[in-house]
Every structure is written in structure tokens, then in C-alpha cells.
Amino acid sequence: MRYIIDDGDALVPYLSTPAPGFPGNNTNRNQYFTVQDQKLWDSNWLNQAAFGFNRTAYLASVPNRYPDLSISLAPNRPIGVISLAGLTPIGNNLIYPLSDYSNVFQLADNVSWAHGRHAIRFGGEFRRNQINGPFDFLVNGEYVFEDLSTFGIPSASNNPSIENFLKGIPLVYLGVTPQGSNSDRGFRQFILDGYAQDDWTITPSLILNLGIRYEFNSNPTESHGRVSNIVDVSTDTAPEVAKLMASTPKDLFAPRFGLAWKVGSDTKTVVRGGFGLFYDQIWGNIYGNARSLPPFYGAIENILPEFLNPTVAAVSGTTANATLTYYPKWPQVMQYNPNVQREVFSNSVLTVAYIGTRGNHLGRLGEANPNEFATGKRLNPNFGSILRCVTDAQSFYNALQVTFEHRFSRILPRKLTTTSHTPSMMLPPRTLVT
């Protein structure tokens, strides 16, 4: 049994922006509890059962809270952000203050069984995730000042962003509606997985490793049903009160295969190889961004708003922070590694290996509702900027590795005897050459 508690409290000078004067307070407490039982049933059976509970709490706040100076539409918020093109933004981070309380309950059991030429292992795990707390994206508000000549507002100087700031003519206001400023959510999800593996000694010269793993991730829910998502960014007129994802896959089988084979009667050549399919997870800090969507939250992007009265604007739209596509595919990675080892002469081994990794359905972040170049309008005028996490990225890694290793059978003595007029020398021991 083990219990660990880890507390931290820090004042971070530049937590919000690189400009001085907007520090932040970080307070965290992490607690980890685990209890494990191992039982040897007989000489061939070993069972390991474990229960774990992890709780992480993170609080971030800003000390310079002056609600009378805030540019937020929501009451009692700290100063927001003033952003001028070409200069460092000033103000407090757009999500502070925030708090996060996450719980993870874990129950696992693993069995090892030695039976003849087989060394078999199998087991499973159940995990329950709870993510609680707000993420007040854009609640503090942000004004962005840039060159407005494309909107028919000419500049009289060679620094249009500062000029428009002095005139109080912003390009855009990012914030939330007062009635939609509560981002406090309680997301719930469980993960279930199991595996079986057999290390099979077919002959003294050939060993096979055969295994398979299965994983299931539930579709996350929210404790009060406050869940919505944009099903189709190009055609939807508003977010839909629905599941966070259309569904989660039920066919996440991941095979594993490996071998070790001594070739020939001289036993100087060994062939090894392995292949494995591994699935990743879509973590809570990704799907949890759906909390920034209506009707439970009102993040807005207003174009050419009135300064300090941003509800009056030329164009108003809904914006969102890195929401997850409604039809994600589960990220996976394939790894493979064949290699050949040969003893070329006594105490010397040459290894030639090929290592490959391929990732499919990996996550990437991009603008899902960009501006049309000709008109300056969004592809879907019902929304503003929509940062979207989609799962269509890939990764590739391939390498040829050649290694030669020689182990010296003799080394020089550490201390050499010298003549009386020369001080003794200490030499380091010889090391392996690779």
C-alpha cells in the first residue's frame, strides 16, 4: 500500500503574457493512492491485483483583479487582453481564474501461468475518469487592433494597429455573453481493456511471442447533461445538443507478434523481429473543449465592434476553442523491428536492424471555418472562428541501424609503475567500443 501527496504553490511572473505586470498564482495538490496484492497459487500461477485512486487539483488565479477596469461582458472578471498587431499583448490570460479537479479510479488484475513451453500472461483493467471544474475560455474578453484598410478604414500613419488603438477602433472582440459564461462541467468516462500473451518456446532455438489486446473507451458524458457539439461545421446553423462524439469504436483489437530464432548449427546468428499495433486515447483536455459551445456557453467573435460596447458590431458570430470533430477515428501506431545479429569473431557482434513506426488517425488542430479570401467572410456565416481537432494526420519513421560491439577480454592495469622521478599515473579502465 502506498499514498503520496504532492503540494505546490508558485507565483509565476509571466503566466499570462510576456509583458510585466500580469503575474499569476498557481496552486496544485496531487494525491496518489494504490494498494496491491500478489498471490502465488502454486509454483506455476501468480496473480497480481491492484486498486488505485489518483486525484489532481489545479488552481490558477490572477492577483490584479479590478472588475471596474475589466473589458469582459461577464461581471466580476479581471482585466482582459489588449492585443495590437506587432506588439506583445497586455492583460490577464483569457481563462484565468480557473480550477480543475480530476479523479481517476483504477482496478487491474494480471495473471501469469507457466505451463510447459508456454509462459502465458493475461489480465485486464477498468478505469473511471472524472474531470471537474471550469475552463473560462474568453470570459475576460479580448480586443484585437490591426490594419483596417481592407475594411475601408484607411490609416494616416505607418503604424495602423497603434493608430486604431488610440482611436478606439478594434478589428475584433472575443468574449462571452453574460448569460453564457458558466463553463463549469463534470465530464465522465470509463475505459476497459484486456490482454493475453504467450511466450512460446517451440524449440531451444526458436521462441515466439504472440499477444492481443482489446480496448474500449466509452463516449464521454457530462454529469448535468450540458453537452453539445458541431456536427458539420460547413452546414450547421448552431451547435447541437448531442453526444460529444457520434460513437466510439468497439473493434479496437491490437495484435502483437515477436520471434527470436538462432539460425544454423554454429549458433552465431540470431534473427529477431517484432510487430505491434497500439491505440492511443482521446484525452479529456481535447473533448472537454466542447464546454465552450452554445447553448450552455456563449463564446462570441464580433467583427468591427464598438469599443467598450462590443455587443454592437458589424458582424457577430459564435466561436469555439479547439472542439473535437463529431466523427473522430481512434489514433493508432504500428511499430515493427526486424534485426539480425552475427558473431563475426570472438567477443564481437554485428547487428543490422530496421526500425519502423507509422501513426494513423493522429490528431491535429486547424481552422475549420476560415475566411474567404475574396469576401473576407467565413465559409459558414453562422459561426466565427472554429478551431477544430480532427484525426486525419499521419506520421512515419523509418531507420536502418548498424551496430558493431566488441568486448575486450583484457584491460590495462589501472596503475602503472614508473621511475622514481615521474609521478605515478592512474588510467581509467577500458570501456566497450560500440
Render pLDDT for 137-156 as a digit per residue (tens, 0 to 9).
Answer: 899 999 999 999 988 899 99
Question: What is the separation of C-alpha 365 from the centre of its chain, rounded to a whole number of angstroms?
Answer: 12
Residue 415: pLDDT band with limits 50, 70, 90: low
How many other β-carbons are positioned within 10 Å of the β-carbon of residue 328? Answer: 22
Task: Please name the residues in contact with 270: beta carbons below 8 A apart, sequence gap of 6 or more.
Answer: 260, 261, 262, 263, 340, 341, 342
Burial class (CB in 10 A: 0-12, 13-18, 19+), 383: buried
User: Taking 70 as the threshold, does the pLDDT of residue 406 lie above it?
Assistant: yes
What's the CATH fold of domain 2-426? Maltoporin; Chain A (2.40.170)
| 3 state SS of 295 | coil
- Write out the three cell numbers for 276: 505491434
- Give the pLDDT of residue 347: 85
pLDDT, tens only, 291-326 = 989 999 999 999 999 999 999 998 888 888 889 999
- Partners of 108 in the β-ladder: 50, 125
What's the whole-number average pLDDT of the chain?
Answer: 90
CA distance 162 to 169: 10
Give the pLDDT mean for 222-244: 92
Count how many Cα atoms sit within 13 Å of the Cα of residue 320 in the half-sphere of its side chain. Answer: 34
Q: What percent of the chain has pLDDT over 90?
A: 71
- Give the pLDDT of residue 421: 42
User: Taking 80 as the threshold, does the pLDDT of residue 416 lie above it?
Assistant: no
- Dump the DSSP string for 204-267: TTEEEEEEEEEEEEPPPEETT----B-S-TTT-SS-BSS-SSS---S-EEEEEEEEEEEESTT-
- Give counts: helices (H), strands (E), the chain: 2, 22
- Give the pLDDT of residue 434: 30
Residue with cell 504553490: 9
Query: CA Rg, the chain, in Å?
Result: 30
Residue 409: pLDDT band with limits 50, 70, 90: low
- Give the pLDDT of residue 244: 93
CA of 416: how far to CAs of 76, 112, 399, 429, in Å? Answer: 78, 53, 44, 12
Burial class (CB in 10 A: 0-12, 13-18, 19+), 409: exposed
How many other β-carbons are positioned within 10 Å of the β-carbon of residue 13? Answer: 11
Residue with cell 448531442: 242
Give the pLDDT mean for 91-98: 86
- Give the pLDDT of residue 16: 83
- Give the pLDDT of residue 140: 92
pLDDT, tens only, 353-399 = 999 999 999 999 999 998 876 666 888 988 888 889 999 999 999 99
Work out the angle at residue 63's Cα, subtended by the Cα atoms of residues 58 and 64, and round it to the nearest 5 degrees: 140
